[in-house]
């Protein structure tokens, strides 16, 4: 039986990838962010999964904004790195796992999540920056195959936090029903608070972020009770990306162990964070 071994939440700010690609991680303004990743990276290097599911949003790079699926799943055997205007990042293309993708797709559709299927997809910073946060020096290949799970956080109406958490729970069941002994990791990406345009451009809300960072571990219901308007008001129009962390959390067990977390303001215009959870911990008796 397949098993989820860990969950990682991380911001996917493009400037984080650019700082790595251009050798700026030791610069004074970047150093604290990358130092904050250290303990998580060490633990992750000892816990390589067989496959990772990356919950992310495309930013009109891999898919046109005239087609905006609420939820989508990649089923390809390979995903190229998208050109976001400056040429593709010089990181490895992403190898897929079509067999697990098709199992997840069938299981999730049967549970009422009618996902859009991506048989072809170029992946943007939303997916590649989290892979770089996890594995700064991938060499020729990322540590394992990856399945992209896409969420619309760009255009109104975004899915609710509660729906995202329910999708995560269904994803957890789908993984558990996969007959192979596959170790799966789940990444939830985006956030934390940020707003890139409009009269509140540059808005961050550290108090809300800290509340979210705490509750994602032990009280996800507090976060699923918030409306999309609550997220946009409290975290900014792009801070609503945090609902994708709830898909990751929903796929984990009720009790998880926080391995490490870190928070940094501001990466680009954005409050950035990482939170890593070990899913293989004893559960409370029922
Ligand atoms: C920024 C943050 C994002 O999450 C994103 O997708 C694009 C830009 C930023 O802070 O610049
Ligand atoms: Fe984003």
Domain extents for the chain? 3-278
Provide the residue-wise pLDDT of the chain in tens; the chain has 286 residues: 999 999 999 999 999 999 999 999 999 999 999 999 999 999 999 999 999 999 999 999 999 999 999 999 999 999 999 999 999 999 999 999 999 999 999 999 999 999 999 999 999 999 999 999 999 999 999 999 999 999 999 999 999 999 999 999 999 999 999 999 999 999 999 999 999 999 999 999 999 999 999 999 999 999 999 999 999 999 999 999 999 999 999 999 999 999 999 999 999 999 999 999 999 999 988 7
Kindly report the protein residue whose alpha carbon is nearest to atom 3 of ligand 1. 13
Task: Look up the pTM and report it.
Answer: 0.98
Fold of 3-278: Protocatechuate 4,5-dioxygenase; Chain B (3.40.830)
Cα–Cα distance for residue pair 212/118, rounded to 1 Å = 31
Residue with token string 């030791």: 26
pLDDT for the residue 118:
98
Residues having CB within 6 Å of any atom of ligand 1: 12-15, 59, 190, 194, 196, 238, 241, 268-270
Structure tokens at 239: 């801070």
- Which pLDDT does position 37 carry in this prediction? 98
Catalytic (active-site) positions: 125, 194
Q: How far is the CA of 190 from the centre of ligand 2 (A)?
A: 5
pLDDT of the residue at 286: 74
């Amino acid at each position: 039986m397949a098993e989820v071994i860990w969950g990682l939440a991380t911001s996917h700010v493009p400037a984080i990838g650019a700082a790595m690609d251009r050798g700026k991680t030791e610069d004074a303004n970047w150093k604290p962010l990358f130092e904050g990743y250290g303990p998580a990276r060490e633990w992750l290097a000892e816990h390589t999964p067989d496959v990772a599911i990356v919950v992310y949003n495309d930013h009109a790079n891999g898919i046109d904004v005239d087609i905006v699926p609420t939820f989508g799943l990649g089923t390809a055997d390979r995903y190229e790195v998208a050109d976001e205007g400056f040429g593709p990042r010089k990181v490895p293309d992403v190898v897929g796992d079509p067999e697990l993708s098709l199992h997840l797709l069938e299981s999730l559709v049967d549970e009422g999540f009618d996902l859009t299927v991506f048989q072809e997809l170029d992946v943007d910073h939303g997916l590649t920056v989290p892979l770089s946060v996890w594995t700064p020096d991938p060499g020729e290949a990322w540590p394992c195959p990856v399945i992209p799970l896409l969420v619309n956080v760009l255009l109104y109406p975004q899915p609710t936090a509660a729906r995202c958490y329910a999708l995560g729970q269904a994803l957890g069941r789908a993984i558990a029903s996969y007959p192979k002994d596959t170790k799966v990791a789940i990444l939830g990406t985006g956030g934390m608070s940020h707003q890139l345009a409009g009269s509140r451009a540059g808005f961050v809300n550290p108090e809300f972020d800290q509340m979210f960072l705490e509750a994602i571990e032990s009280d996800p219901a507090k976060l699923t009770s918030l409306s999309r308007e609550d997220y946009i008001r409290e975290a900014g129009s792009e801070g609503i990306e945090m609902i994708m962390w709830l898909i990751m959390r929903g796929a984990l067990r009720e009790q998880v162990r926080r391995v490490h977390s870190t928070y940094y303001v501001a990466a680009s215009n954005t409050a950035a964070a990482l939170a890593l959870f070990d899913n293989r911990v004893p559960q409370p008796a029922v």
